[in-house]
Amino acid sequence: MATRTLSLADTTIGKKAVMAVSGAILLGFVLVHMAGNLLVFSGPEALNSYADGLRKLGPLLWIARAVLLGAVLAHIWAAIALVKANDAARPIKYQVVQPVATTYAARTMRYGGFILLFFILYHIAHLTFGVTVPGGHAAAPPAGMPGALAGTDVYYNVVASFQVPWIVGVYVLAQLALCLHLYHGGWSFLQTLGFNHPRYNALRKKFAAAFATVILVGNLSMPLAIMAGVIKLPS
């Protein structure tokens, strides 16, 4: 009978490590992406120059995109593999389901993960390709618009979109799902790293809650400020 050497990725701890490393890359992206997007509060010049600067990175931007896509795919693969291993370890379900915190967290991770996947697909279609941007995707700022640059008019695409209530609704729901996912993901990531001691557990939860809250508040501030008319299209 042919034998195969067990690789680290075949083991539960290996899959958890894949989950943690890919999750850490995604946590970093979410933070940096939010910080960049917050430039919308500084006006078209600031946001569009930043977006243009990213585009000018050329091959480096494509490397970053490849790492990001790899992290998303690895994260989904490890999640499915861990769920399968979990179910195989208990083929006969518990007769009495206790509403314990861990099963609640695991359920929200599975459903939340799906919601986020659909959100990311919509989000790229929306802001990268312009699907549902009112008046059409602005490939370049209209002539005479302050901050006119050669690249895509990210400021117009973002601000015009968040004047549409249903688009704001989609983003608000997605940010709530992201917040729960980051909270659970953040503390299990620290647990996988080894911060699993009664002395650190409360700290771990506080850190994860603080991170998830910062991302929630930052990401919600943009659609809500635009909808409230605090951020406007230049006249």
Given the rule CB under 6 A, which residues bind ligand HEM?
Answer: 30, 33, 37, 51, 65, 116, 120, 123-124, 127-128, 152, 154, 158, 171, 178, 219, 222-223
Containing H/E element for 222? helix 198-227
Joined together, the tokens standing for residue 185 give 């993901």
Containing H/E element for 194? none
- Shortest distance in whole angstroms from residue 30 CB to ligand HEM: 6
Comparing CB distances to ligand HEM, the nearer of 20 and 149 is: 149
How far is Cα 27 from Cα 185, in angstroms, rounded to an integer? 9
Helix, strand, coil shares of the chain, percent, nearest 5, are 75, 0, 25
- Shortest distance in whole angstroms from residue 105 CB to ligand HEM: 19
- Shortest distance in whole angstroms from residue 70 CB to ligand HEM: 12
Contact 187, 208 (CB under 8 A): yes
- Shortest distance in whole angstroms from residue 51 CB to ligand HEM: 6
- Shortest distance in whole angstroms from residue 94 CB to ligand HEM: 33
Comparing CB distances to ligand HEM, the nearer of 171 and 189 is: 171
How far is Cα 77 from Cα 69, in angstroms, rounded to an integer? 12
Comparing CB distances to ligand HEM, the nearer of 9 and 210 is: 210
Comparing CB distances to ligand HEM, the nearer of 188 and 219 is: 219
Q: What's the chain's length in residues?
A: 235
How far is Cα 80 from Cα 185, in angstroms, rounded to an integer? 15
Comparing CB distances to ligand HEM, the nearer of 79 and 178 is: 178
How far is Cα 181 from Cα 176, in angstroms, rounded to an integer? 9
How far is Cα 55 from Cα 76, in angstroms, rounded to an integer? 28
Q: Of all residues in this chain, which one has the CB nearest to ligand HEM in the complex?
A: 128
Comparing CB distances to ligand HEM, the nearer of 63 and 120 is: 120
- Shortest distance in whole angstroms from residue 18 CB to ligand HEM: 19
